[in-house]
Amino acid sequence: MTRHDAVEVITAKRDGRVLSDSQIDWVVAAYTRGEVAHEQMSALAMAILLNGMGRHEIARWTAAMIASGDRLDLSGLGRPTADKHSTGGVGDKITLPLAPLVAACGVAVPQLAGRGLGHTGGTLDKLESIPGWRAELSPREFRRQLGEVGAVICAAGDRLVPADKKLYALRDVTATVEAIPLLASSIMSKKIAGGAGALVLDVKVGSGAFLQELDRGRELARTMVELGTDAGVETVALVTDMATPLGFTAGNAIEVAESVEVLAGGGPADVVELTLTLAREMLARAGMTEVDPADRLADGSAMDVWRRMIRAQGGDPGAALPTARESYVATSPQSGVLTRLDARAVGVAAWRLGAGREQLGQPVQSGAGVVWHARPGDRVDHGQPLFTLLSDDPSRFDRALEALNTGWEVGDGVDHVPSPLIHERIEA
């Protein structure tokens, strides 16, 4: 590998020039090894945020990130593989019913997930509310479960894209998280290294999303689809709405319970719709268009895979889920139609109740969260419960209510126009 100088690379991008393949390969590898200082990579990240990268640059950066660690080989499973990634939102429990549903249709789902930070919940936090369930699997356990059960949701190992672990932490404290080239390469390096043959991306936009503007979400979706396509992975992206939270719950254990309702053939209409839409996209990318996932919800086979998946990782799918020690019910001060329910307000309230964390490594309350009893367009009466707040610590209720108080409106509903759940579909 050609050796470069960090200042040379920073200067090139600062001045708006295209980085060469060897510059990208060297700076990513050198930073991962500790040979490029944090302040130098911070400067480069800011230069990338301000001046951008071309398609080839982003693809090469992503490849260099992947090359920093191991890449999973999922060949020999005897069935196609498909993965899904969501950019995160409030009440976004879709991975939980989606993975066993797609597996029940004959496509293996290797889902490497993460923990939440801030107002968006983490998939692993939700699953860890199930008694006995463990997130950490060895590569051998991962592959065996994928072959025998067809679905795995677990933490990524330390050897999967170690460059991203360092760079992600750096971006978080240098105001460069929003750089589309770095954000796209962070997500896609891990997904490509995960080894699935097909990938469906759920890019959220709206108040509760990481990227709130539709144009920014569209740009990220297109960039990631290009990266997947260039890497030989069948990739499609859906840009979906996160102005209103998904379902009726935001928390950990309460989202697991809602996911189980979906697997049992019920559940909130929006959660069911998005789960089935993403499942159909995953199956189509994997070449399994003859199977209708709705049938697998109806006949109970998706639930069967869920139970086997939870048991395989030490969990008890029949055990009672944790519940919060305290609750508080907020009622509607008037009758009318709920015209707005702001996803960010709900997410911040759940976070303040203990369902989320401010720093990585902090514990979360499994039973904490928010249940809302109406969605935009629903009629509510004076005194009717609007929200139930759940926490082990009742002193948290006041700050959670502060977050919620500006996050909803009740009116006559004459001008209410529901937001579409899916804004756009993007493919190569």
Instruction: Examine the residue annotation and report whether 186 is marked as an active-site residue of this protein.
Output: yes
Distance CA 367, CA 359 (A): 19
Domain boundaries, given as residue ranges, for the chain: 6-52, 82-318, 326-411
Tens of pLDDT, residues 74-109: 988 999 999 999 999 999 999 999 999 999 999 999
Six token digits for residue 265: 């053939």
Q: Domain 6-52 falls in which CATH fold?
A: 1.20.970
Q: What is the DSSP string of 187-255?
A: HHHHHHHTT-SEEEEEEEESTTSSS-SHHHHHHHHHHHHHHHHHTT-EEEEEEEE-SS-STTEEESHHH
Distance CA 123, CA 91 (A): 11
| Cα 306 from chain centroid (whole Å) | 19
Six token digits for residue 1: 């590998």
Q: Which residue of the set 60, 85, 191, 344 is catalytic?
A: 85
Distance CA 54, CA 16 (A): 11
Q: Per-residue pLDDT tens, the chain, 428 aa: give them.
A: 788 999 999 999 999 999 999 999 999 999 999 999 999 999 999 999 999 999 999 999 999 999 999 999 998 899 999 999 999 999 999 999 999 999 999 999 999 998 876 666 689 999 999 999 999 999 899 999 999 999 999 998 888 999 999 998 899 889 898 899 999 999 999 999 999 999 999 999 999 998 999 999 999 999 999 999 999 999 999 999 999 999 999 999 999 999 999 999 999 999 999 999 999 999 999 999 999 999 999 999 999 999 999 999 999 999 999 999 999 999 999 999 999 999 999 999 999 999 988 776 788 999 999 999 999 999 999 999 999 999 999 999 999 999 999 999 999 877 778 889 999 999 98
Grouping H, G, I as helix, E, B as strand and the rest as coil, residue 111 is strand
Q: Which residue of the set 86, 129, 185, 186 is catalytic?
A: 186
For 272: left if phi > 0, alpha if psi spans -120 to 50, otherwise beta; the answer is alpha
| Rounded alpha-carbon distances, angstroms, from residue 17 to 67, 181, 368 | 24, 15, 49
Q: What's the pTM?
A: 0.95
Strands 198-205 and 82-86, sheet pairing: parallel
Instruction: Examine the residue annotation and report whether 327 is marked as an active-site residue of this protein.
Output: no
Do 267 and 247 touch, CB atoms closer than 8 A? yes
CATH among 3.90.1310.10, 3.40.1030.10, 1.10.3720.10, 3.30.420.40 for 82-318: 3.40.1030.10
Q: Which residue of the set 13, 171, 280, 352 is catalytic?
A: 171
Buried b (16+ CB within 10 A) or exposed e, 300-326: ebbbebbbbbbebbebebeeebbebeb
Cα angle at 63 between 229 and 79, to 5 degrees?
50
Q: Which residue of the set 164, 230, 270, 342 is catalytic?
A: 164
Phi (first) and psi of residue 262, to 5 degrees: -65, -45
Instruction: Examine the residue annotation and report whether 164 is marked as an active-site residue of this protein.
Output: yes
Q: Which residue of the set 166, 190, 222, 280 is catalytic?
A: 190
Architecture of the domain spanning 326-411: Alpha-Beta Complex (3.90)
